[in-house]
């Protein structure tokens, strides 16, 4: 039995470069960076002072795109139960649903949701009042007062604002999607993994349509501190923020923290054509892997080779068939070198490569899907966008990205989208330009 072809019929995003695929594409065409000075996090004492904020997202109902009266009322009422990270995920999802058109005609039982997320961290302000009420006469925290004085001050709905399964739950409830639902907490790898699961759900006949979303942030008082202590982050305050994120460049010094979300609608090709939907691309295959020698000894090179070859095999494509590669491009010395050497071992130096993080920084779990959407648009428009701030090739990165300012390379008709985590998790997806 032949598996049904699965296509993309809706796309939505919230990013530092804009809140629609068209806005983001125009920002790429203009060579714009979404990285700027941060003034709202209270991080003057942190080693970094800039990041990729989703500047045009306020969390107001108008940011959620065109909505029917019922979902609009429900979302407006539910905003108080969502942290910013979840709000961005819902906004990108609703925009993708609107872009897809009339998917409700399938019936609620045939529409599902799978969402990629990271662990979602509570804002410290949630406990500020409780902690103050537990101070003793000398101002020190008294643990014995927590049960009687601190805990009662925490709102009963506090946890719902931060549970990582809430983006999928909210989207399903607001749109009455009753099909398969899941949430994947896999850091940056989560978006591609969510696509892979949704693809399998549709191909085995468990659903006709799947909303695939991913949302993430590195711009959070506690999360940013954790990352600064555990990972390599750009800390040079003298350089212009828009020059900080430098995927594969010889002078890269660390990742730049960012936030964002993206979502796509997947459905069976035959059904999409029957209802006259606009088809953005076809998902051809997905792969994933995990490789390492033990704690803090990840093998990104081996992991990426395994997942890339798996995606190519499932897509029934040879390496030379790919139009371009959308690299993870974390902008750290170790990860970029491991990624470049792994890709070079499969593709050599002939396949064009780009990396959105030069424009946006690392949006955590939201990165992979946003990067894929940009590549899908590039295949529609024709040219492949350059990697911002890639100025000087690094001998340790033998796969050269598209040079800055060079728009004369075609995006081709297919893309390998790559996502990695420092722990050794890799996920890959291959999408082709739609060809009926």
> What is the per-residue pLDDT across 137-168, written as a single tens digit (0 to 9) for each?
898 999 999 999 888 888 888 888 999 999 99
Q: What is the pLDDT of residue 436?
A: 75
User: pTM for the full model?
Assistant: 0.94
Assess whether 153 and 172 both reside in one domain. no
How far apart, in whole angstroms, are the C-alpha atoms of residue 198 and residue 212? 7
Assess whether 372 and 423 both reside in one domain. yes
List C-alpha distances in Å: 380 to 13, 411, 413: 17, 9, 9
Structural domains in the chain (count):
2
Assess whether 368 and 356 both reside in one domain. yes
SS3 at position 88 = helix
Which residue, among 350, 369, 370, 373, has the nearest Cα to 360 in the 3D structure? 370
Strand partners, 51: 36
Question: What is the CB-side half-sphere exposure of residue 336 using CA atoms within 13 A?
Answer: 32
Residue 90 falls inside a structural domain: yes
**Range scoring the smallest mean pLDDT among 56-65, 123-132, 265-274:** 123-132
Q: What is the mean pLDDT of residues 202-223?
A: 92
List C-alpha distances in Å: 237 to 16, 46, 249: 20, 11, 19
Radius of gyration of the chain (CA): 21
How many other C-beta atoms are found inside a 10 Å radius of the C-beta of residue 435? 9
Res. 84 pLDDT band, cuts 50 70 90: very high
Residue 1 falls inside a structural domain: no
How many other C-beta atoms are found inside a 10 Å radius of the C-beta of residue 143? 9
Q: What is the pLDDT of residue 295?
A: 61
How far apart, in whole angstroms, are the C-alpha atoms of residue 118 and residue 184? 8
Assess whether 19 and 131 both reside in one domain. no
Res. 98 pLDDT band, cuts 50 70 90: very high
Q: Name the residue with higher pLDDT: 423 or 339.
A: 339
List C-alpha distances in Å: 107 to 71, 103, 198, 203, 285: 17, 8, 17, 18, 27
SS3 at position 6 = strand
Dihedral sign computed on CA atoms, order 377, 164, 192, 7: negative
State the CATH number of the domain containing residue 362: 3.40.47.10
How far apart, in whole angstroms, are the C-alpha atoms of residue 22 and residue 19? 8
Burial class (CB in 10 A: 0-12, 13-18, 19+), 273: middle
Q: What is the pLDDT of residue 7?
A: 98
Instruction: Give 217-231 pLDDT, tens digit per residue.
Output: 988 777 777 777 778
Q: What is the mean pLDDT of residues 198-215?
A: 96
Which residue, among 233, 236, 215, has the nearest Cα to 224 in the 3D structure? 233
Assess whether 118 and 129 both reside in one domain. no
Q: Residue 141 belongs to what domain range?
A: 124-157
Assess whether 202 and 152 both reside in one domain. no
298: tokens are: 């990840």
Instruction: Give 317-354 pLDDT, tens digit per residue.
Output: 999 999 999 999 999 999 999 999 999 999 999 999 99
How far apart, in whole angstroms, are the C-alpha atoms of residue 339 and residue 328? 8
Residue 18 above 70 pLDDT?
Answer: yes
Assess whether 92 and 145 both reside in one domain. no
371: tokens are: 């990067």
Q: What is the pLDDT of residue 127?
A: 85
Q: What is the largest CA-CA distance in the chain?
A: 74
The residue out of 136, 157, 178 marking a domain boundary is 157
Assess whether 237 and 324 both reside in one domain. yes
SS3 at position 420 = strand
Assess whether 131 and 31 both reside in one domain. no
Percent of the chain with pLDDT over 70: 97
Scan for tokens 């088809």, then name that residue: 279
Helix (H) or strand (E) holding 208: none
Assess whether 235 and 139 both reside in one domain. no
Scan for tokens 């009266």, then name that residue: 69
Q: What is the pLDDT of residue 44?
A: 61
The residue out of 114, 134, 157 marking a domain boundary is 157
The answer to whether residues 219 and 38 touch, using CB atoms and an 8 Å cutoff, is yes
Which residue, among 10, 125, 97, 26, has the nearest Cα to 359 in the 3D structure? 26
DSSP 8-state code for residue 168: H
Print burial letters for 240-256: b (CB count within 10 Å at least 16), e (below 16). Answer: ebbbbbbbbbeebbbbb
The answer to whether residues 14 and 260 touch, using CB atoms and an 8 Å cutoff, is yes
The residue out of 106, 132, 157 marking a domain boundary is 157
Print burial letters for 113-141: b (CB count within 10 Å at least 16), e (below 16). Answer: bbbbbbebbeeeeebeebeebbeeeeeee
Mean pLDDT score across all residues of the chain: 92
Cα-based angle 434, 191, 279 (whole degrees, multiple of 5): 20
Dihedral sign computed on CA atoms, order 88, 92, 98, 104: negative
Percent of the chain with pLDDT over 90: 75
Assess whether 14 and 136 both reside in one domain. no
Q: What is the dihedral of CA 160, 161, 164, 168, to 10 degrees?
A: 80
Assess whether 129 and 59 both reside in one domain. no
How far apart, in whole angstroms, are the C-alpha atoms of residue 301 and residue 281? 28
Residue 46 above 70 pLDDT?
Answer: no
The answer to whether residues 306 and 426 touch, using CB atoms and an 8 Å cutoff, is yes
Residue 36 falls inside a structural domain: yes
SS3 at position 369 = helix
């Amino acid at each position: 039995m032949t598996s049904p072809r699965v296509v993309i019929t809706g796309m939505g995003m919230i990013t530092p470069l804009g809140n629609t695929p068209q806005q983001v594409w125009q920002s790429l065409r203009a060579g714009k960076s979404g990285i700027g000075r941060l003034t709202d996090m209270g991080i003057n004492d942190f080693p970094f002072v800039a990041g990729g904020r989703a500047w045009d997202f306020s969390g107001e109902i108008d940011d959620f795109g065109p909505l029917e009266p019922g979902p609009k009322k429900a979302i407006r009422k539910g905003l108080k139960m969502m942290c910013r990270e979840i709000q961005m995920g819902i906004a990108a999802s609703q925009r993708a649903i609107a872009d897809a058109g009339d998917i409700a005609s399938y019936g609620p039982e045939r529409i599902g949701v799978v969402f990629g997320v990271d662990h979602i961290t509570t804002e410290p302000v949630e406990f500020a009042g409780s902690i103050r009420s537990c101070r003793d006469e000398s101002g020190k925290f008294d643990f014995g007062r927590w049960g009687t004085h601190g805990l009662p001050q925490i709102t009963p709905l506090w946890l719902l604002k931060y549970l990582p399964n809430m983006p999928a739950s909210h989207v399903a409830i607001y749109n009455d999607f009753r099909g398969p639902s899941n949430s994947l907490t896999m850091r940056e790898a989560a978006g591609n993994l969510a696509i892979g699961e949704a693809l399998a759900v549709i191909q085995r006949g468990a659903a006709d349509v799947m909303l695939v979303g991913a949302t993430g942030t590195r711009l959070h008082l506690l999360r940013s501190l954790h990352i600064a202590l555990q990972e390599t982050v750009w800390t040079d305050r003298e350089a212009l923020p828009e020059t900080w994120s430098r995927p594969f460049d010889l002078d890269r010094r660390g990742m730049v923290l960012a936030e964002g979300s993206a979502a796509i609608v997947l459905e069976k090709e035959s059904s999409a054509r029957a209802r006259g939907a606009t088809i953005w691309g076809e998902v051809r295959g997905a792969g994933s892997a995990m490789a390492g020698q033990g704690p803090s000894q990840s093998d990104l090179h081996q992991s990426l080779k395994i997942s890339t070859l798996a995606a190519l095999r499932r897509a029934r494509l040879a390496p030379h068939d790919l139009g371009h590669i959308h690299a993870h491009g974390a902008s750290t010395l170790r990860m970029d070198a491991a990624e470049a050497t792994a890709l070079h071992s499969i593709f050599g130096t002939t396949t064009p490569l780009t990396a959105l993080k030069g424009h946006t920084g690392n949006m955590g779990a939201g990165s992979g899907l946003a990067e894929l959407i940009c590549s899908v648009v590039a295949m529609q428009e024709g040219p492949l966008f350059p990697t911002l701030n890639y100025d000087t090739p690094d001998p340790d990165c033998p796969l050269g990205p598209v040079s800055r300012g060079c728009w004369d390379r075609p995006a081709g008709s297919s893309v390998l989208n790559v996502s990695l985590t420092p722990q050794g998790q890799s996920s890959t997806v291959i999408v082709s330009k739609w060809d009926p």
